[in-house]
Chain A
């Protein structure tokens, strides 16, 4: 059987089981949350969920839209600062978060409009420039971002009148948001939109001649993905009650990229694996903290060389291996 057919079997297995997978993932998240009891690991679980949210947004831009946006951390920071700004002006939690999403979406639209002609590498470069500009601006404009870009004492998340003060309580909020977004991702995956996006990514000129709205689709993925990044930033800010310029640096930007690549570009489920990896591994290798970057770099190389489809690709090839062996035994 050729790899091509293998891939098709693998992807069909994945396509069919979307809702089952979602259920399994939710169960997994819940059981993980119940399994951990100490404070620091609850913190890590929350970090996993919220990074998954941000990485899912990046996945939409990068894997579906085919554009390498370095600006995701900028969007997270913008979301965080916006929510802090609204919070200071006595807007409720829900209003803050929605406001943050709207502001990041508008910002993403502006960036996308400036860079609408920029392809591939130029888009990456342009968004990198946006991020660098953001870091300087956030550090200097004290009315919006507080002194030196640090704001403390941001209100706890409030849902249905209930204030979520502990990590354990915030977990439910994050899990709910992630579930909704994953559901959205599943719908997106099953909609014809994904087919259009694939066409746009692989051959933009051909798609244009066939009447696929290339520019609009690119803009939509970028704006939607960035807004989700802003949402993640806002949630982190409310959860931790603090935002600083260093909270969303370039390291996290590369981290998000690692999560998506490690998890695998073929499926949005990979994001969860990637984020889990990114959060858990430094914790497991606590003594080797200073070697983390070397490990990440090496891992990135190994993944793109040996498993171009990421960690989820390994799962797939195992699965299709089983499919193949069962079909063989049926034949014989």
Chain B
């Protein structure tokens, strides 16, 4: 029973992180039609930026986190200007390659800046343990759940009810018509890149204290988030939340009890199964844009 509770919390916390990461690249995908392969490296970078603020500049963890998220938003916008804006009218494949190139550059930059030895990001919840139903749960997991749920709610609100969200959805369903009706695509795409990178940063910073930061840290999260997005039907925001939760459950509950050695590949197997059997995702609405 204790194990079950502990594993459920792990699954939920991991699912929440994946949801943040997946929402990040989906916002971008909706606004611009681009799947950003640099998303994983943005997640990694955010961990290192937070680490830099905390260890090198001596700020408290929370301040460091907030600053890092802000910086990452700016970096996202910079990336838009540098790697996306010049390519806006090019075919999708070209843009995809450009994001791969950006990923290479970001990764190389991190390894030059911080080296490749794994590091650990401090957290305000370090060492704190909450007992739930008799099972000890790391404080960080509770923190992840609370912050992630708040942020997901905020993103869902922005997406569903704000003017920005409406314009974004208009762009997602028909870019030409949206443009004709005066949606400022340039501005929206800049904001979407900023929001996307900010969400990547949140995901990275929240989960980094639970494991170690290295160059592949964000890549793994990005792949699992891709799996979650595919499970939910790519482009469907509610589906992604469901998919993230499922991936968390598969990895921690199934992986925790049955296939311990192979837990890390279970999300990929789930993704392959979905791609083979039901490419439109579990919720079954296709949004074809790629």
The residues of A that contact B103 with a CB separation of less than 8 Å are 297
Interface members, chain B 218-256 (any A CB < 8 Å): 219, 223, 226-227, 230, 234
The residues of A that contact B107 with a CB separation of less than 8 Å are 293
> Which residue of A116, A121, A136 contacts B262 across the interface (Cβ within 8 Å)?
A136
Q: List 9 A-B contacts (CB under 8 A).
A: A126-B272, A129-B227, A129-B269, A132-B223, A254-B100, A261-B97, A294-B105, A298-B101, A304-B97
The residues of B that contact A293 with a CB separation of less than 8 Å are 104-105, 107-108, 111
Indicate whether B67 reaches chain A with its CB closer than 8 angstroms. no
The residues of B that contact A300 with a CB separation of less than 8 Å are 97-98, 100-101, 104
Cα A7 to Cα B234 with chains together (Å): 37
Interface size on B, residues (CB 8 A): 39
Cα A137 to Cα B272 with chains together (Å): 16
Cα A128 to Cα B219 with chains together (Å): 11
> Which residue of A129, A133, A297 contacts B105 across the interface (Cβ within 8 Å)?
A297
The residues of A that contact B111 with a CB separation of less than 8 Å are 290, 293
- Count of A-B contacts with CB under 8 A? 105
Is B271 a contact of A125 with CB atoms below 8 Å? yes
Q: 5 closest pairs, A vs B, by CB?
A: A293-B108, A297-B104, A297-B105, A129-B268, A300-B101
Is A132 a contact of B265 with CB atoms below 8 Å? yes
Is A305 a contact of B87 with CB atoms below 8 Å? yes
Interface members, chain B 101-117 (any A CB < 8 Å): 101-105, 107-109, 111-112
**Contact residues of B with A, CB < 8 Å?**
35, 83, 86-87, 92-94, 96-98, 100-105, 107-109, 111-112, 219, 223, 226-227, 230, 234, 261-262, 264-265, 268-269, 271-272, 275-276, 279, 290
Q: Given A132-B223, A132-B268 in contact, is the A294-B276 Cβ separation under 8 Å?
A: no
Closest to A265 in B: B93
Cα A190 to Cα B104 with chains together (Å): 36
Q: Given A133-B268, A254-B104, A297-B108 in contact, is the A114-B275 Cβ separation under 8 Å?
A: yes
| Given A125-B271, A126-B271, A304-B94, 10 further pairs, Cβ under 8 A | A117-B276, A121-B92, A121-B290, A129-B223, A133-B269, A140-B262, A254-B100, A257-B100, A293-B104, A301-B102
Indicate whether A291 reaches chain B with its CB closer than 8 angstroms. yes
The residues of A that contact B227 with a CB separation of less than 8 Å are 129
The residues of A that contact B94 with a CB separation of less than 8 Å are 304, 308
The residues of B that contact A19 with a CB separation of less than 8 Å are none
* Interface SS majority for chain A: helix
Cα A296 to Cα B92 with chains together (Å): 20
Is A121 a contact of B104 with CB atoms below 8 Å? no
**Contact residues of A with B, CB < 8 Å?**
68, 113-122, 125-126, 128-130, 132-133, 136-137, 140, 250, 254, 257, 261, 290-294, 296-298, 300-301, 304-305, 308
Q: Given A293-B105, A294-B108 in contact, is the A118-B279 Cβ separation under 8 Å?
A: yes
Cα A137 to Cα B265 with chains together (Å): 9
Cα A106 to Cα B107 with chains together (Å): 35
The residues of B that contact A257 with a CB separation of less than 8 Å are 100
The residues of A that contact B100 with a CB separation of less than 8 Å are 254, 257, 300
Closest to A126 in B: B275
The residues of B that contact A291 with a CB separation of less than 8 Å are 108, 112
A186 to chain B, nearest CB (A): 26
Cα A106 to Cα B104 with chains together (Å): 32
